[in-house]
Amino acid sequence: MSISTACTPPVAHRHPDAGEPQQSPVVRWSEYRVSHPLPSVEKAPSPSAAPNVRQRYDLPALIDMALQNHPETRLSWEDAKAAAARVEREAASWYPKLTALAFGQYFKTSIPIPQSTLVSTGVGTFGGAELAWTLFDFGRREALDEASLERFEAAQFGFGRKHQEIAYRVADSFFAYQAAIAKVAAAEQTFTAAKANAEAVNAKLSQGFATRPDLLLALQEQAKANYDWQDARGAVTQTRAALTTSAGLSPSVELSLIDLSQVPLPDALAPSVEKIVDQALEQRPDLQAKLAELRAREAEVRKARAEYWPKLSLKGSIGNQYWGDVQTDPPSRRHYSSDNLVGSAMLNLEWNLFDGFERRGAVDEAEAKRRAGEAQIDSLRLEIMRHIWQTYADTKTALEKREFALALLRAAEESYAATQESYRHGFSTVIELLSAQKDLARARYTEIDSRADLLKSAAALVYAAGGGESP
């Protein structure tokens, strides 16, 4: 039994020294993208699937339907798409920016001249385009681009872990629901037995072989069995609501499910819990997501340090400039106008020499976030190991309890049958008969709980291990 889900393979990234600027020539986007391939978003989740009233669902089919219907699946999918969009947004910094410009104006200027003032009036317009292209920035763009790639990878791992989480919740609620149904059947059996015992005591009372208190005790146990039966039926409604909700469905949806007795039980555990821990530390998607986030924060440290270095960019513009209806006062012989193609090109070097220690604060903040990311990874590793050790012990205990529960049920069935037969022949009392009946009812509940606990603890161990090969 496995509740794992496939995750996107990790994307390889290079990590240059964060402490020194890169002394490389101008990096082209096409060259950079060869060594930093853009990962593709996984296949979109299937559209919501309505439950088939004619289908009898087992656990894998129920999990498959939950992954298609649950809103959290769509939420994690959209988060992954947003992370992919951020990658493309950061990629835009590698391309030149082309801007269209246009303006018009009415002007009036005054120029002092001997014994007067020369006043010029007219209109002017300009239309053209401006180009700006960052050629080299000492690793700023590489760092931001790598951070976005790592966060996209983290979102993909988060998408995979969300699948595992939903699958585990469905499995846990499925076993609880099936146990509740089995308890209804067990309670009905107990009520039927209690009713038969009350009838037997009543028959003996009419023959003079039983007393009135004996009958009252039997009727009391019959009423108690009826109460337990109705209580078990109420628990089914609650667990069914939890199951349908975990599958992303309305609690009013009716599902046809296989019986709990048809669910195969695990019969053994991996001999070494350390091996399970090692596998979990390698494949847990949430841990891989934290590692990707740490690499993103390391890239942000490099970006903050690169701000100490200059930027080299190319800027240029070209357009048409027009001056028209230019008049002067004192007036001249004619009005002036001109229509010229103008342009400019420059290589621009920007170097911020002092900014009030803002860049030092940015570096300190980025390094603190990186160290916090390392602490989060260490904390998650400890939590993973604790969770696996706990679920491993729970599963091992559940396996042992299952054997004792089966032995208890067999003994209780034999004891009740023998006591019932003995009571018919007058060798046992009503109290002994009712006591054997209660012991059998408890044994049935214990057997049902042991089966459900074993399945739930095994599912919890697989979830703690991060899916993959079942422990």
Residue-by-residue pLDDT tens, the chain, 471 positions: 333 333 333 333 333 333 443 333 333 434 434 444 444 455 555 555 677 777 888 888 899 989 988 999 989 999 999 999 999 999 999 999 999 999 888 888 887 877 677 777 888 888 999 999 999 999 999 999 999 999 999 999 999 999 999 999 999 999 999 999 999 999 999 999 999 999 999 998 898 888 899 999 999 999 999 999 999 999 999 999 999 999 988 888 888 888 767 677 887 787 788 999 998 998 899 999 999 999 999 999 999 999 999 999 999 999 988 877 777 666 665 566 788 888 999 999 999 999 999 999 999 999 999 999 999 999 999 999 999 999 999 999 999 999 999 999 999 999 999 999 999 888 889 999 999 999 999 999 999 999 999 999 999 999 999 875 445
How high is the pLDDT of residue 2?
Answer: 37
d(CA 436, CA 413): 9
Looking at residue 24, its pLDDT comes to 34
pLDDT at residue 350, as a whole number: 93
Position 232 scores a pLDDT of 94
Contact yes or no for 408/442 (Cβ under 8 A): no
> pTM for this one?
0.79
